[in-house]
Structure 1
Amino acid sequence: MTWLNSWHTFIKVVETGSMAAAARHLDCTRAQVSKQIADLERSFGVRLFERSTRHLRLTPSGEVFHQHAQRAVEAVSSTELAVRNLGESPHGILRISASITLGRLYIAPLLPKIVARHPALTCELVLTDTVVDLINDRIDLALRLTRSPPQDAVVRKLAPMKRVICATPAYLAAHGRPQKPADLADHPCLSYLLGDESRIWRLLDPTGEEVSIAVDSRIHFNNAECILDATLAGHGIAMLPTYLCGPALQRGELVTLLEDYDPVSSFGRYLYACYTPSRVRLPKVRVLLDELEACFMPVPPWDVVG
C-alpha cells in the first residue's frame, strides 16, 4: 500500500521533527522521505509543513492530516493483525507475571492444562511481589492486586480480593474474642510489612466510615504465607486475603472476626489482568484469559462455600 507507506513516513517526520531523523528511523534516505512528503502535498494540494533552515512545523492543514493519519494507520495495523491472527493456534512463549503466593497457589496449577491443550505453546511464570515492566520484562500478561491499574495497559477485572480478620479457635478460647475494632489493640496482631499497614489497620464500619486501629504488632512479614502460618500456630490475629486463608476458614482451622467491618488493604480490592495493547489479539493471550476467567469467574474458588 503505497499511500500507507507515505502516511507512515509523514507521521514519523512529525514524531522525529526532521526528515533526516525520520529517514534514519525508517532505514531509507532523506531524499526518499522528502519525495514522499512532496507527493503527499501535491496529492492534497496543500502544504503540510512550514519549512525553515532549521525546523519543520506543521501547517494547519498538516495538523488536521496528522490527527486523521494516525488513526487511519493504527486502524489498518489493527486490521492486519486481526486478520493474520484469525484462526491461528497459540504458539511461542507465553510469559506471565504474578505475585508469589497467588501465582503459586492458583496460576501455576493452570499451566500444565494450557500446554497440554496447546502443544506449540511454552509457558513461563515469573513470580515476584514487585511490579514488573510489561515491555522491558517481556511480560505477555501480568496479574496484579492493585488499587491503581496501569493507565497505559489494557486491564481486565478478574476477581474481587476480599480480606478478613481471623484467628484460630484455640487462640480465641485462650485470649478472648474481640467484639469491636478497638479491642484489637489488646491482642498481638500479625502484620504485613508494608508502609503503615504493619501498625495501623483500617476498617470500614457498616455505614462506610473508615476506622483506624493502632494494633499491637511486634511480628511483621513481607510474605503473606508466613502470616498465615503464624496465625495457624496460634500466635495472634491477622488480616488476610481470602485467596490465602479461604481453605483454612472452610476447614474450621480459622474463624473470622468483626464480620460487620470490611478490612481496607493497600493492595486494593480486585485482581486485574494487565497487558499491552499489542498483545490484545495474540492467540496465546486469549487462551490464558479464557483459562483465568473460567477459574476466577463468577466466584473465585477461594470464596466458594461448601
Structure 2
Amino acid sequence: MRWTIEEIRTFLDVLDAGSVSGAAARSNLSKSVVSKRIADFEAALGTALFRRHAGRITPTESAEELALRLRPALTEITRAVESAAWGMAGLRGTLAISAPMSFGIRHLSPVIAEFALQHPDLEILLDYDDQFIDLVRGRFDLAIRIGQLPDSRLIARKFCEDPRVVVASPHYITQRGEPETLADLQAHPCIGYLNLQSSSVWQFLREDGSVVGLSLDSRISANNGEAMRDMAIAGLGIALLPMFIAHDALTSGHLMRIARDLKPTSLPISAVWRPVKPMPMKLRAIIDHLAKAFSDGAPWAL
C-alpha cells in the first residue's frame, strides 16, 4: 500500500468541496490531476471512496470514517513539519482563514494583506462566506465571527465591539415618518436577514440591561449585510445594520440614523480556533496581528 500526503489532502478537499471541480478550484489544480490523485488513493487503499453517477460523486461511508481519522492526523503532521521550518526560517506553510463576506472584503483584507507582506513564505487562503463554518470538520485554521459566540470547544479572542444602528433612507423617512420607539418600529417594513430569525436580529437593550427581541415583517430579505444596506438606500424599509456596513452610507447621506433613543445590542468581533497544543506560530502570529489592528475598537465607528 503506497499513498502520498498530496493524495490525502486532495481526498479531503474533494470531500469538503463536494466535487472534483470544487476541489480543483480550491487547490489551484486541474480537474484531471485531482481525479488521478483520488483514483491512485483508492487503488492504494483497495476500496472505493466515492460513488460516481452521471458526473456527480458522493462519498462512501468508508470515506466519511476515514476522513474523521485523517483530519487530526494530517493536522499533526503539518504542524510538526511547519514548526521545524519556522524554527529555522520564519513563518511557512499554509494559513486558512474564514470570515463573513462584507467584513472580510471591507475591513479584513487590508489587514491580512499587511500580514502577508510581512511573511512572504506563508501561503494564505481566505474564504469569505456569511454562512457558519464548522472549524472542527473544516480545513480552516481560524475563523472571524461577528456576534455572540455559542458555547463550543473552540478557543476565542474578542477584538472589539461593533455598534449597530437603525437606519433608513431620507426618502423613506419623508414618506413614512421616523419611528422612535419599539412599538413604532413594528409598524414599519424592515429589511430582513435570511441567516437569522427576525427576533434574533432586532434586539435591543432595556434600561435594566435585559434584551428584548422584536419580530418584524420583512417585505424583502437578503443573506448579506451590504445587500440589506442597498435595499434600505433604495427606500424599501428600515434596517438594523452593523456600523462597519452602515458607516459610509451614513457619512454620504444615503442613509440616516433613526430611533436614536433605542439601544441595539452590539456585535462582538472575535477570532475562534480549535484548541491545539502547542499553538502553531502562524496561528499565534495572525491572531496577535488582528488584535493589534483592532485594538482601538472598531475603526469605522462614528
TM-score range, shorter chain: 0.5 to 0.7
RMSD: 2.9
> What's the CA shift for 1:296?
1.5
Please show how residues 177-192 of structure 1 align to structure 2 within 5 Å: 177-192=178-193
Q: Does 2:199 match 1:227?
A: no
Alignment of 1:267-286 (within 5 A): 269-278=267-276, 281-286=279-284
Task: Report the count of equivalent residues.
Answer: 222
Asked if the contact 1:134/1:276 (under 8 Å) is kept, the reply is yes
Where do 5+ consecutive residues of structure 2 fail to align?
A: 1-81
Q: Report the AA paired with residue 98 of structure 2.
A: S
In 1, Cα distance between the equivalents of 2:278 and 2:298? 24
Return the offset for 1:211.
4.1
Partner of residue 236, structure 1: 237
Q: 1:140 and 1:200 mapped to 2: Cα distance? A: 28
Deviation at 1:257, TM superposition (A): 1.7
1:225-304 counterparts in 2 under 5 A?
Answer: 225-264=226-265, 269-278=267-276, 281-303=279-301
How far did 1:85 drift? 5.8
CA distance in 1, matches of 2:91, 2:117: 12
Give, in whole Å, the separation in 2 of the partners of 1:156 and 1:199: 23
| TM-score normalised over the length of structure 2 | 0.65
The residue correspondences of 1:1-306 to structure 2 (distance < 5 A) are 89-149=90-150, 151-197=152-198, 201-264=202-265, 269-278=267-276, 281-303=279-301, 305=302
Distance 2:137 2:209 in 1: 40
C-alpha displacement at 1:249, in angstroms?
1.9
Aligned-pair CA distance for 1:108: 2.1
Amino acid in the other structure paired with 1:246: H
**How has the CA–CA distance of structure 1 residues 83 and 163 changed in structure 2, closer, same or farther, with 3 Å as cutoff?**
same
Normalised to the residue count of structure 1, the TM-score between the two structures is 0.64
Q: Which has the larger radius of gyration?
A: 1
* Alignment check: 8 A CA contact 1:198 1:220 kept: no
Q: Distance in 1 between matches of 2:201 and 2:274?
A: 35
For 1:108 and 1:156, how far apart are their aligned partners in 2?
A: 19
Kindly provide the CA deviation profile for residues 47-99 of structure 1, in whole angstroms up to 9, marking residues without a partner as x: xxxxxxxxxxxxxxxxxxxxxxxxxxxxxxxxxx9999667511111110111
Q: Does the Cα contact within 8 Å between 2:191 and 2:219 map onto a contact in 1? A: yes
Q: Percent identity?
A: 33
Contact 1:141–1:275 under 8 Å retained in 2:
yes
Q: 1:192 to 1:261 in 2, by over 3 A?
A: same
